[in-house]
Structure 1
Amino acid sequence: MSKLLFIPGTLCNGNVFTNQITTLTNAGHQCITLEYDQHNNLSDVASHALRLFDEGEPFSICAFSMGGMVAFELLARVPERIEKIALLDSNAHADKPQGRLARSEHLNYAVSHGLETLIHDQFSNVYLHKPNEALMKLIAQMAQDTGIERYRAQLEILATRPDASELLANCAHPMLIIGGCNDVLCPPSEQQRMHSLAANSELVLIEDAGHFAMLEQSAQVNLHLYNFFGGAAHA
């Protein structure tokens, strides 16, 4: 049975992948979710992830947003153990100059008003392509479950992440890159750039989907993941 590591994004947990995990578990994969602790650097997060497996054990990765940065760290550290990688609405560039300032403002807002309020006031207009109260409630609950200290650690990871472009350019692993056509945080241009760098990659852009494509268009995302990772006959 193939082992498949799901890596959530900022302020998310395994609940963001519920539909994908159901589909791929039914397809014969053993799905394992990385739940973030308070590690504030990619090296420690990668070590935390590797403790979920036996030493030397191979696995595949399905990573969302910041989770893609963890996937790159794992790819750099144990490339021989990774079989396939799916990146959902992620990016491979280092932090941008304005990034740290914006995230500092977001953290201060969360400390003052709470994480649920942060999600609704600061991110409700950029996370989804179309308003969806149920999905925003799920996203806000994941943020609350994450808590301020883990959020603070995640923001430090985002601020100090390295550029992964050279890593992608030297990567021969099978890779599926999925992005929402309406994602303003990790836009289609970045998905296309990663695809152009990774020689053995497939690019899928999902219509009518923002940053959380796996929630807004779960059936489409599930189908592409199923086809990429294979069903039970390939597991």
Structure 2
Amino acid sequence: MKKTIYLLCGLLCDAAVWEAQAAALQPDHEVRTISFEGLASMQAMADKVLADAPARFALAGHSMGGRVALEVVRRAPQRVERLALLDTGFEAAAPGEQQRRMVLVNQALKEGIASIAATWGLPMLAPAKRSEPRLVKAVVDMVGRMSGAIYAGQTRALLGRPDATDVLRSIACPAMVICGMEDGWSPPERHERMAELIPGAKLRLIEHSGHMSMMEEPEAVLRALREWLDMNTI
């Protein structure tokens, strides 16, 4: 029987962010990519994942999707067969975070999502990758498929996120933490701490990659995910 793998998308991301990995894993697994347009809380996003999930499944989350994955583990730890967290975090919202995030949200609501697509997307990439036209276009186009209302709702979800330190400590399945070495939004040091908190977790840092590691270095991320899928149950 094929393993069911959920790939959870991050803020302003859709299935394009996981396209390379989903295509490569699909022949041997049932791959379900989930994005979170129209939802405004971590709880609602976790409910979407669990709504039609099988009794046991593998779960990988990127950025905001990693935080959703932790909420899924909080609610149904016995159902998560293995967990991968990519370019994400675990802390509650920091002081001043709301004000910083709302600058671009308000611009998107007033002027349209296209007005912030490049402003938001380019810093997510490693510096050297910001001059790769095909990659930049893929990120900007993905953001452009969203809307100011989607951005506002997902931002509300992120600002209301609970601290997940205790969830990390409680994880009892094979786990891997993956991060772009040049991720300036959620840096490697945070992922090192996450890997320390999760019993038996493996840490894999992706060279030449920023926050959008799956799009920036798709083969390196795929290798890490294949290793994750082969990890023995702890």
| Alignment TM class, shorter chain as reference | over 0.9
Corresponding pairs, count = 228
Identity fraction in percent? 28
The answer to whether the aligner puts 1:195 opposite 2:187 as a matched pair is: no
User: Which residue does the alignment assign to 1:84?
Assistant: 82
* Aligned-residue offset at 1:49: 1.3
* Aligned-residue offset at 1:214: 1.1
User: Which residue does the alignment assign to 1:119?
Assistant: 117
For 1:124 and 1:66, the matched residues in 2 are separated by 17
TM-score, structure 2 normalization: 0.92
Q: What are the Cα deviations for residues 19-62 of structure 1, in whole angstroms up to 9, with x where unaligned?
A: 01011113x110001121322111111111112324xx211111
CA contact (8 A) 1:63 1:71 kept: yes
Change (3 A) 1:43 1:125: closer
Q: What are the Cα deviations for residues 89-122 of structure 1, in whole angstroms up to 9, with x where unaligned?
A: 1111111112100111011121233323312124
For 1:122 and 1:214, the matched residues in 2 are separated by 17
For 2:158 and 2:9, the matched residues in 1 are separated by 14
User: Which residue does the alignment assign to 2:174?
Assistant: 174
Q: What are the Cα deviations for residues 152-206 of structure 1, in whole angstroms up to 9, with x where unaligned?
A: 1100011010111111012122111000111010100100000110012100011
CA contact (8 A) 2:126 2:208 kept: no
User: Which residue does the alignment assign to 2:22?
Assistant: 21
User: Which residue does the alignment assign to 2:204?
Assistant: 204
The answer to whether the aligner puts 1:39 opposite 2:39 as a matched pair is: yes
Q: Secondary structure at the match of 2:147?
A: helix
CA contact (8 A) 1:23 1:226 kept: no
> What RMSD over aligned residues (CA atoms) do the two structures have, in Å?
1.5
For 1:25 and 1:113, the matched residues in 2 are separated by 38
For 1:133 and 1:113, the matched residues in 2 are separated by 24
For 2:218 and 2:161, the matched residues in 1 are separated by 28
Which ranges of structure 1 fall in alignment gaps of 5 or more residues? none
For 1:205 and 1:113, the matched residues in 2 are separated by 37
The answer to whether the aligner puts 1:62 opposite 2:60 as a matched pair is: yes
The answer to whether the aligner puts 1:104 opposite 2:102 as a matched pair is: yes
User: Which residue does the alignment assign to 2:52?
Assistant: 52
Moved over 4 A (4+): none
* Aligned-residue offset at 1:7: 0.3
* Aligned-residue offset at 1:220: 0.7
Which range moved further: 1-10 or 164-173?
164-173
Which ranges of structure 2 fall in alignment gaps of 5 or more residues? none
User: Which residue does the alignment assign to 2:3?
Assistant: 2
